[in-house]
Structure 1
Amino acid sequence: MMQVSEHQLDKRGIGTNTVVKHGEGWVVTQYHFDIENLPKPGDEINLITEASGYNRFFEYRDFMFDDKDGNRLVTVRSEWVLFDLQKRKMLPTDEKLMANLEVPLLKKLPRFPRLRALKSYDHKRQYRVRYDDLDTNHHLTNSHYFNWFIDMLDRDFMKKFMVQAIDIKFNKEVRYSQMPYSCMTLKKEDNQYKSYHAIEDEKGKDQAVCELTWRKI
């Protein structure tokens, strides 16, 4: 997903390498995934992306995964901000940059589920952020959050169930050498399993919150 969006941004001259020269970076704040099916090794798929809109502080981007016959496999909605890499804070939307991408100004914001950390979790495991875990903004790259969430579930569960929906909100960056905890509670609700996750710092403050909905394979 990141590669495809980066190709689009590069063509408009506003990719990661360009914005970094201005001391800025793209940072995702929230994702919502709907997963109909997953591609198998050797399958050919098409990845489609479009910058779907913006407002004063947020930019929105959609992703679609289709198989070679055009059947939709995965749909993703995402929310982004521009980030000041020196001051470590979000920036207002660059309207000239959005005009360059031909992105519409939104009067009504896309709705994402409101995610809140649980008061306590049934399972916790501590990890260390390594140098190889970092992205271009020098904080923990997105894929490692999912690795740490999935690592909390046992093998027997993973062999019987697959993810149907993902909601994740990034509240605070996780940085090099920090030792956060991956937290999880698994619940069965209306004949469906949901796992509730958080990444907590060493003081117990949540840095990311996630909910995974599972279906039987």
Structure 2
Amino acid sequence: MIPELVYRNSYIVGYRDVDFNNDLRLSSLFGYFQDTAIMNVEKLGIGVNTLSEKYSVSWVLTKILVEINRIPKWNEKITVETWPHRPKKFEFDRDFRVRDDNGNIIAAAISNWVLLDLKTREIRKSEIISGDYPPLEFTDERALEGRLRKLRPAGEPEVVYKRVLGYSDTDANGHINNAKYIDFIMDCFSIEEHKKHSVRSIQVNYLKEVFPGDTLILYRDVSGAGSNQVYIEGINEADQKPAFSAELKFD
């Protein structure tokens, strides 16, 4: 029996997941994406424990582009849909849609994942799990027409703040969780800026692992703000290499 391609998970937006406007925090949305994706691969038989025990690898998000039509509110019921695409040599594309209780699409995303070797911290070829990858009737339908791309600043980024990473930032892979970076990004804006503007799209490229004890230097380039676009990047202070880059567009 061929497994169902699209996996759905419903959430009630919790009080801990919203900001001062009772709007769902962007990091919480990324957490919903992550949880739904992990549940989906578990259902497909290629979940976290299976890959760790058989191949010593884990799923890691490398790029994601999210477009938001409307931010859900506290206590609102939403459904996150996700589906995988046919594996490439190293990469696994996965899409998401978020629907409100009336079935309206309020957000959508495309993403890219890889298999990270838990011992060497290197990326492994997708074929390593081909024997366990289930038979699926893959679809070419994408949640967004946009594409994942390299991100570059329009001008000269300036330092906003530094953050020492700790226990609360980590995940099961021992590195900084992808949703935590979203909080780092959103902290590059003042409360007043958040009151005036809402994020309508965000792309994040996860470039290099960082770990507890590392210090991230957050940079911001607002030279594209005239077109409602802001560039953010995080640099590891120890080696001066970028850990992530992001591009946000506001209303």
Same structural fold, with TM-score higher than 0.5 when normalized by the shorter chain? yes
Q: 1:102 to 1:199 in 2, by over 3 A?
A: same
Q: Report the CA distance between 1:91 and its aligned residue.
A: 0.3
2:136 to 78, 81, 102: 102
- Counterpart Cα distance in 1 of 2:191 and 2:89: 44
What is the match of residue 81 of structure 1? 114
Q: Is the 8 A contact 2:155 2:223 kept in 1?
A: no
1:174 partner letter: V
Q: Report the CA distance between 1:101 and its aligned residue.
A: 5.6
Larger deviation, residues 110-119 vs 36-45: 110-119
Q: 1:119 to 1:85 in 2, by over 3 A?
A: farther
Gaps in structure 2 of 5+ consecutive residues = 1-32, 141-145
1:139 aligns with 2:175: yes
Larger deviation, residues 114-123 vs 53-62: 114-123
Larger deviation, residues 75-84 vs 201-210: 201-210
1:200 aligns with 2:232: no
Q: Is the 8 A contact 2:45 2:132 kept in 1?
A: no
Q: Report the CA distance between 1:16 and its aligned residue.
A: 1.0
1:56 to 86, 89, 98: 89
Deviations 1:78-134 (A, max 9, x none): 001011010110000032333x1626499xxx9312213567412331111112211
1:37 aligns with 2:73: no
Q: 1:97 to 1:184 in 2, by over 3 A?
A: farther
Per the alignment, in what secondary structure is the counterpart of residue 137 of structure 1?
Answer: coil
- Counterpart Cα distance in 2 of 1:101 and 1:208: 34
- Counterpart Cα distance in 2 of 1:92 and 1:151: 35
What is the match of residue 210 of structure 1? 246
User: RMSD between aligned alpha carbons?
Assistant: 2.0
Gaps in structure 1 of 5+ consecutive residues = none
Q: How does 1:141-156 map to 2 (within 5 A)?
A: 141-156=177-192
- Counterpart Cα distance in 1 of 2:206 and 2:154: 15
- Counterpart Cα distance in 1 of 2:147 and 2:230: 21
Q: Is the 8 A contact 1:167 1:210 kept in 2?
A: yes
1:26 partner letter: W
Q: How does 1:19-30 map to 2 (within 5 A)?
A: 19-21=51-53, 22-30=55-63
1:170 aligns with 2:203: no
Q: Is the 8 A contact 2:152 2:231 kept in 1?
A: no
1:66 to 77, 96, 99: 99
- Counterpart Cα distance in 2 of 1:23 and 1:198: 30
Q: 1:79 to 1:92 in 2, by over 3 A?
A: same
Deviations 1:153-184 (A, max 9, x none): 11111001100010111111111211111111
1:15 aligns with 2:54: no
- Number of residue pairs matched? 210
1:182 partner letter: L
Larger deviation, residues 167-176 vs 123-132: 123-132
1:112 partner letter: L
Q: 1:181 to 1:189 in 2, by over 3 A?
A: closer
Q: Report the CA distance between 1:213 and its aligned residue.
A: 0.4
Q: 1:86 to 1:70 in 2, by over 3 A?
A: same
Larger deviation, residues 115-124 vs 28-37: 115-124
What is the match of residue 5 of structure 1? 37
Where is the strand percentage greater, Structure 1 or Structure 2? Answer: 1
